[in-house]
Structure 1
Amino acid sequence: MLIVSVVFIAAASPAININQYFTPTLFQEVKNNHGNRAEYRVKAWQRLIEDNQDRTELEKLKLVNDFFNKHIEFIDDIKHWHREDYWATPLETLATEGGDCEDFSIAKYFTLNALGISEDKIRMMYVKALEYNQAHMVVIYIPSPGEYPLVLDNINRDIVTANQRRDLKPVYSFNGQGLWVAKAQGLGNKVKQRKGFAPWVKLIKRIEQGQ
């Protein structure tokens, strides 16, 4: 279940270093805990990052969006993790072959960053999915200042500009650099950092621990 909160603590996003993150121990643990298919998915994720460093940014967007939309099944947190709200790491999402819209977005965001796309250009964005009348999360890519961002989503799997997604009402976006209150279909204004709890901070720590 997606719980929208504007309480946020900025924490720098750790880049996934393929030489340190993808170890024989990690693959063995995934295989032991989740089986051969899970190990295959995680190795496919490694190849995605290793083999596509020299692609254009637009090519990287499509590869990453298609990869996670293909390999992950949408499952609500209550059913999947037996928690009301849980932000899974990309490894947890791939190993268990499921996640909600937050998990899709988190996996795409960190994979794009691992492929060399600057954090300045990517954010996760909370939106309201008007057709479903519920909170939703997507990843946005900002080609350059002043341009409409591109939207990576697990509902509409085509990558289009935000102004073409009239089914989404932006609420706010964030990355490790801060929080922006959304305005119309644009990027909105950055707000001062607020003190409080954020699932983002816990997520960062788990990724840094190799989870």
Structure 2
Amino acid sequence: MYKRVVIIFFITTCASALDLNSKVLDFIDQRFGQDAVSRLQQWERIANYKQNITHQQKLKLVNQFFNRVKFVSDQEQWNKEDYWATPLEFLATNAGDCEDFSIAKYFTLREMGIPDDMIKITYVKALELNQAHMVLAYYPTPDAEPLILDNLINEIKPAGQRTDLAPVYSFNGEGLWLSKIRGQEGKRIGNADKLESWVELLNRHYKLLK
């Protein structure tokens, strides 16, 4: 029940304006310096951008912004085998792995007004690297081939053109899907609260922004 409350809270609040208060920014300044504050303020401006731009323009803006961040492993960054950083942690440290890129893009696009059912954080296998990877998928319509936002490349391409990626599962604030065919949504197998890392991330995200 508690996990479900966390997920519902996320869905109902994520589309509200991102507001980094002075307490948060002062803490970041003391811990990480003024450059980190500047990155977070730029993130806030992007997330709260209210001019009439298309979804594709939002995707490009967000993808370009986050892909400037340095890629590092969780072991190097957090001394842990697996750690899902909040967007605030990701930008404050200016480093993270593929999960952190995808999660930050997801949160930001939700803040920019893109509905939850149009974007899914997607776990894939990067075939050329022969390793697990995570990307963000955007579905223009429920049955459409998704566009893939990836930290490995800056260009946003349809899933069918990403033959280097093999989908495994995807999730968002509303559900969890098993994905075996490239470019298709897959079979829903439950709610995202099955993912302990996701629930724990949501808890930290809102605690950090208080």
TM-score normalised by L of structure 2: 0.90
> Deviations 1:59-103 (Å, cap 9, x if unpaired)?
000000000001x10010000011111110000000000000000
State the distance in 1 between where 2:195 and 2:180 align: 24
Of all paired residues, the percent bearing the same amino acid is: 45
AA matched with 1:119: D
Is 2:67 aligned against 1:31?
no
Alpha-carbon distance in structure 2 between the residues aligned to 1:138 and 1:51: 23
Q: Which structure carries more relative contact order (alpha carbon 8 Å, separation 6+)? A: 1
Query: Does the aligned pair in 2 maintain the 1:53–1:115 contact within 8 Å?
Result: no
TM-score, normalised relative to structure 1: 0.89
- The ranges of structure 1 where at least 4 consecutive aligned residues each deviate by more than 6 angstroms after the TM superposition are none
Corresponding residue number in structure 1 for 2:202:
204
Partner of 1:159: 156
Please, which runs of 5 or more residues in structure 1 have no aligned partner? Answer: 1-8
User: Paired residue for 2:53, among 55, 62, 70?
Assistant: 55
Please tell me whether the aligned partners of residues 173 and 192 of structure 2 are also in contact (alpha carbons under 8 angstroms): no
* 1:51 CA displacement: 2.8
SS in 2 for 1:63: helix
Against the structure 1 CA distance between its residues 194 and 37, is the aligned structure 2 distance closer, same or farther, given a 3 Å change threshold?
A: closer
**How many positions carry a matched residue from both structures?**
201
Structure 1: distance between partners of 2:204 and 2:170:
21
Deviations 1:115-139 (CA, angstroms, capped at 9, x unpaired): 0000010110000000000000000
Which residue of 2 is the match for residue 180 of structure 1?
A: 177
Verify the 8 A CA contact 2:118 2:142 in the aligned structure 1: no
Larger relative helix fraction: 2
Unaligned 5+ runs, structure 2:
none
CA distance in 2 between counterparts of 1:195 and 1:23 reads: 28
- The answer for the alignment partner of 2:14 in structure 1 is 15
